[in-house]
């Protein structure tokens, strides 16, 4: 569903989906798309930034809300993509459910839990409510949802960049590129974010862009922690939250 939504919005950014369904003889599912001769070297920042911004700009939420019409999965784990007209409440629910998945795998950690409660009650509203204050609006944009280097490929014949293996939903576009802040991925060079911003400028207030990115990255860190028990990403999520809480809440 996610890849079809991306392809139907901007065919030049994704291989064409051909079919999907449940396997006959086992509890598994299949997905078939066009074959592309791609390599998995780090993508060209300029090409990726331009094409990704085009996807975000062209996309139109069918409900005008944030979310998606079905549950999408980041790896093996489900995301809460229930439609919501308010980005602050959508993101709060998304992160709350991801945090629950992390606790189920890694157990309760009081220091992290204390930070998460402050995050839900105070930090998320403080950083995200200004996006729609004073008459501002943010468009629900179709995002890939897990856009790291292994889900991006470059066509060896044309040099064009393609994305795949999405867990899409309609979101604030800056959520997409916050994943490139996370140290457990390789696309941490600032050039990727800068090239994207050349094509899709920062939301207002622009002076809080970096800190919104830190907050958005926490969701990526926590779901990675839920996939890989004992991963350093759990501590990194706490580090980001402590920095933001000290700056905006304490």
> 89: domain range?
40-248
In this predicted model, what pLDDT tens digit does every residue of 28-58 receive, in sequence order? 888 899 999 999 899 999 999 999 999 999 9
Mean pLDDT to the nearest integer, 140-164: 96
Whole-number mean pLDDT of the chain? Answer: 96
pLDDT of 250 above 80: no
Asked whether the predicted pLDDT for residue 161 surpasses 90, the reply is: yes
- Residue 112, domain member (yes or no): yes
- Residue 137, pLDDT above cutoff 80: yes
Instruction: Please check whether residue 21 lies inside any domain of the structure.
Output: no
In a domain, 28, yes or no: no
**Cα separation, 154 vs 150, whole angstroms:** 11
d(CA 41, CA 155) in angstroms, rounded, equals: 11
Q: What is the CA radius of gyration of the chain?
A: 18
Number of structural domains the chain divides into: 1
First and final C-alpha spacing in the chain: 42
CATH number at residue 215: 3.90.1200.10
pTM: 0.95
| pLDDT tens profile 205-227 | 999 999 999 999 999 999 999 99
């Amino acid at each position: 569903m996610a890849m079809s939504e991306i392809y139907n919005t901007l065919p030049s950014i994704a291989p064409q989906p051909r079919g999907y369904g449940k396997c006959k003889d086992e509890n598994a599912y299949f997905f078939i798309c066009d074959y592309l001769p791609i390599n998995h070297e780090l993508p060209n920042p300029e090409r990726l930034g331009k094409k990704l911004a085009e996807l975000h700009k062209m996309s139109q939420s069918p409900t005008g809300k944030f979310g998606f019409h079905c549950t999408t999965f980041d790896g093996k784990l489900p995301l809460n993509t229930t439609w919501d007209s308010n980005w602050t409440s959508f993101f709060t629910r998304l992160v709350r459910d991801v945090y629950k998945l992390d606790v189920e795998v890694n157990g309760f950690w009081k220091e992290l839990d204390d930070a998460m409660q402050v995050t839900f009650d105070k930090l998320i509203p403080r950083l995200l409510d200004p996006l729609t204050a004073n008459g501002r609006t943010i468009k629900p944009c179709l995002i890939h949802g897990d856009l790291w280097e292994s889900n991006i490929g470059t066509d060896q014949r044309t040099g064009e960049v393609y994305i795949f293996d999405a867990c899409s939903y309609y979101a604030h576009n800056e959520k997409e590129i916050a994943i490139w802040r996370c140290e457990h991925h390789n696309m941490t060079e600032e050039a990727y974010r800068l090239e994207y911003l050349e094509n899709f400028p920062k939301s207002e207030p622009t002076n809080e862009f970096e800190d919104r990115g830190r907050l958005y990255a926490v969701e990526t860190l926590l779901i990675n922690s839920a996939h890989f028990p004992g991963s350093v990403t759990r501590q990194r999520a706490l580090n980001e939250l402590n920095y933001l809480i000290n700056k905006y809440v304490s």
